[in-house]
Structure 1
Amino acid sequence: MTDLTVRLRPVVEHDIEMFRRFNTEPGLIGLDWAGYRDAAAPARRFAEDGYLGADSGRLMVHVEEEQAAAGFVSYLAGKYGGLAGFWEIGIALLPEWRGRGVGWRAQAMICDYLFAHTPAQRIQAGTHAENVAEQKSLVKAGFQLEGVVRACEFRAGRWRDGYLYSRLRDDPSPLANTGIVAT
């Protein structure tokens, strides 16, 4: 792992090509590949709200040293009942950026950002049972394993279990004393 400077930034028009790739290149998104998706959908969503919707959105994961977009983090609003709103986050990194410490930082940053700008008490993230690297990344980003979600995903011809992680507003940020700030 290297000491890269990671920041989050809004999506700009030239980022749409990366989203198209994730929709149309088998395997690029790893275990989350669920078949071909509409290649024009990213441009439509960008035109709608620049991926900065009130209930869902994306921010680009940008590596300063390379002046490159490494991937994106996403957020989606959910509700358990009453006023118990939460965010579900996700991340997709291009293969060349995986395993370099970019992902856990970006996940910690999106949590800090959402806690700073929304009243949510809870942020959750799911991952595949076999994705050990992502499980370690989530823990490093301040998440705790809550449990197994049985048969929650249909992938590669069968139903599969997933793991659910969460980070609460009062949980300490792993970025608190690093000088890294999510704006």
Structure 2
Amino acid sequence: MRQEQEETVAPSVRLRPVREADLAMFRRFLTEPGLIGLDWTGFRDAQEPARRFAADGYLGAENSRLIVEAGPEQDAVGFVGWHATGYGVAKFWEIGIALLPEWRGQGIGWRAQAMLCDYLFTHTPAERIQAGTHPENAAEQRSLEKAGFRLEGVMRSVEFRAGRWRDGWLYSRLRSDPAPE
């Protein structure tokens, strides 16, 4: 007897500006231990998201966020963010992503990060976009590679987390790198 295999279809993904209703999710990431995964750095000011939203709607010149929507109902499942960094006059973007746990592992993260890169390369003159992750975060490493990033190397003792200094892995995508399919 032949078993039928289910075809897994990734949920549709889109990015949009932050809305006031999204602030509750941001507060959860700041106040629920473990919700953000390895990036938990302790409790943070739960009122900060409202202040930031009131200031610029999370669309600032030096750092910004967009909401990741996915699924048939286009649920808010997390966010992507970027901030300016660089050396001297050479500025580029560093990006990050946070998805709610129930939406991880479905192909949403790499698609959202690829979409964010396309957005930034289209609307800013940046030549480089970089992202860091934890050596033990194999899922994010695969996600970045699917989104067109290349591993550049290890950043030694770059992060203080869970009581000690830890290494990070640095990835980058250049404007001239091929976009993912």
Q: Does TM, normalized by the shorter one, top 0.5?
A: yes
- Aligned position for 2:178: 172
Shift of 1:64: 4.7
- Aligned position for 2:43: 36
CA distances 1:48-98 after superposition (whole Å, capped 9, x unpaired): 00000011010000115132011000000012122x110000000000110
Matches of 1:133 and 1:94, distance apart in 2: 14
Distance 1:64 1:98, change over 3 A: closer
Spell out structure 1 runs of 4+ moving beyond 4 A: none
CA RMSD of aligned residues (A): 0.9
- Aligned position for 2:119: 113
2:162 corresponds, among 156, 165, 176, to 156
Shift of 1:4: 1.3
- Aligned position for 2:55: 48
- Aligned position for 2:85: 78
Kept in 2, the 8 Å contact 1:7–1:64? The answer is no
Deviates more, 1:55-64 or 1:12-21: 55-64
TM-score by length of 2: 0.94
Matches of 2:74 and 2:151, distance apart in 1: 33
Matches of 2:92 and 2:45, distance apart in 1: 28
Kept in 2, the 8 Å contact 1:142–1:171? The answer is yes
Kept in 1, the 8 Å contact 2:151–2:169? The answer is yes
CA distances 1:85-115 after superposition (whole Å, capped 9, x unpaired): 1000000000011000000000000000000
AA partner of residue 83 (structure 2): L
AA partner of residue 3 (structure 1): A
Q: Does 1:22 align with 2:42?
A: no
Kept in 1, the 8 Å contact 2:148–2:178? The answer is yes
Kept in 2, the 8 Å contact 1:147–1:164? The answer is yes
SS in 2 for 1:164: strand
AA partner of residue 161 (structure 2): R
Q: What runs of 5+ residues in structure 2 fail to find an aligned partner?
A: 1-7
Q: What is the number of residues matched between the two proteins?
A: 174
Matches of 2:55 and 2:105, distance apart in 1: 33
Kept in 2, the 8 Å contact 1:2–1:101? The answer is no
Q: What runs of 5+ residues in structure 1 fail to find an aligned partner?
A: 176-183
Q: Does 1:140 align with 2:149?
A: no
Matches of 1:173 and 1:81, distance apart in 2: 28
Task: State the identity as a percent.
Answer: 72
- Aligned position for 1:57: 64
TM-score by length of 1: 0.93
Matches of 2:153 and 2:74, distance apart in 1: 38
In our comparison, the structure showing a higher alpha carbon Rg is 2
